Amino acid sequence: MKILAIESSCDETSAAVIEDGTKIISNVISSSKDLHEKTGGIIPEIAAREQVKCIIPVIQEALNKLDLEEGLSNDRKYLNLINKHIDSLAITIGPGLIGSLLVGIETAKTIAFVTGKPIIPVNHIFAHIYANFLLEQIPQFPALALVVSGGHTELFLLNSHQQIKWLGGTLDDAAGECFDKTARILGLGFPGGPAIATEAEEFRKQSTHTLQLTTHNKIRLPRPMIDDESFNFSFSGLKTAVLREVKNLQTTQQLNNGAMEQLKHKSNYPLNKLTIQQLSYEIEESITDVLVDKTLRAAQKYCVKSILVGGGVAANRRLTEKFNQQSAINNQQFKLYVPPPLLCTDNAAYIGSFAYFHNSPVPWQEIKAVPDLEVEV
Ligand code: KG4
Ligand code: ZN
């Protein structure tokens, strides 16, 4: 079964053709990230305007992989390809930005109307988990899923594709949001996650050359809710702690040090480069400590066979490293799945995989954007 999946919930526009929920035939992604880098965050109207421009070319490019016959280059080429090869459509209906969601949804509905193909509505957050069903080995149930993205930090228990139980989530800011907001405080680029990870890596390299991290790294940030019994998270306190730390450090450095260095984007709190790297290191350590600790505790409690990590923050290398280290120390018996970075951040491939395993089409007239679609089931 081949599904044409479309994703446009945030600043990415993506279309993919997925076979039997596990094989990627094509996965085309267009991002307006560069435009948002200038403003240090996503401006919804700019994202949607860019998506209107690129949605059709992105879908066409995804379909081109199906064009195995020479000479199929008339006006109806793409409708012919859909009619001939595609069994069903899949579309993200939420959560996400209303303008962005509508671009994908209205396009998908039009294709469904014209071709008569069934259309499957998809919850973007659940779908992030399914990037792990596009890897070499199919995960086994029961599985624990950690979805860590720009807007969500959620833990789910999957006993089967149909039995997904929400265990907990963030009470305030998401992990990705914390990376983005603290990166902004430090004057680093957008998105903040990769920017913080790069600075943290620099600090790690320097520290191994000079002193041990433990003595060298004097800045210590909190690990919010790490000892809390529940599977909930909270990251807004970490952002406040960074702000407080930065203000203190700035005052000290201004007194001690004339040369202030600001990085790529102007920060309101100019600090020297080493301090920015040191803070980035501690932010990454704090967020990953909490995520790994809670996830492994849940894995142990529910005796799962697999841990599935998904969402943009899953692209963080330190997170995977820590999962591997900690599970080895605790001698835990599960297999860890982490998709390659391109499948962690937003793309239509996992939308198509989710739709295959949750194949519940609805009439196109009933498909609507739900910007605040829930995940608590
Ligand atoms: O899943 P995603 O692409 O979009 C949403 O659905 O939100 O996630 C985007 C988030 C951003 O907050 C970004 O800073 C974070 O994922 N991110 C990372 C990394 N790459 C992206 N966070 C930490 N380390 C990374 N390497
Ligand atoms: Zn996402």
Residue 176 alpha carbon, nearest atom of ligand 1 = 12
- Asked if 308 contacts 143 with a C-beta cutoff of 8 angstroms, the reply is yes
Q: Rounded CA gap, 84 and 17, in Å?
A: 13
Q: Rounded CA gap, 112 and 116, in Å?
A: 5
Alpha carbon 243 to its chain centroid, in Å, reads 25
pLDDT in tens, 98-123: 999 999 999 999 999 999 999 999 99
Q: Rounded CA gap, 302 and 305, in Å?
A: 9
Residue 125 alpha carbon, nearest atom of ligand 1 = 6
Phi, psi of 173 (to 5 degrees): -75, 150
Ligand 2 centroid from CA 118, angstroms? 24
Q: Rounded CA gap, 3 and 353, in Å?
A: 8
Which residue is closest in CA terms to ligand 1's atom 14? 193
Q: What was the pLDDT predicted at 328?
A: 81
pLDDT in tens, 57-73: 999 999 999 977 655 66
Residue 315 alpha carbon, nearest atom of ligand 1 = 26
Which residue is closest in CA terms to ligand 1's atom 8? 312
Pocket-forming residues, ligand 1, beta carbon under 6 Å: 10, 149-151, 176, 179-180, 191-194, 197, 311-313, 315-316, 345-346
Higher pLDDT, 262 or 352: 352
Please state whether 160 falls in left (phi above 0), alpha (psi between -120 and 50) or beta: beta
pLDDT in tens, 135-170: 999 999 999 999 999 999 999 999 999 999 999 999
Ligand 2 centroid from CA 263, angstroms? 28
Confidence grade of residue 3 (pLDDT, cut at 50, 70, 90): very high
Confidence grade of residue 377 (pLDDT, cut at 50, 70, 90): low
Q: What was the pLDDT predicted at 43?
A: 87
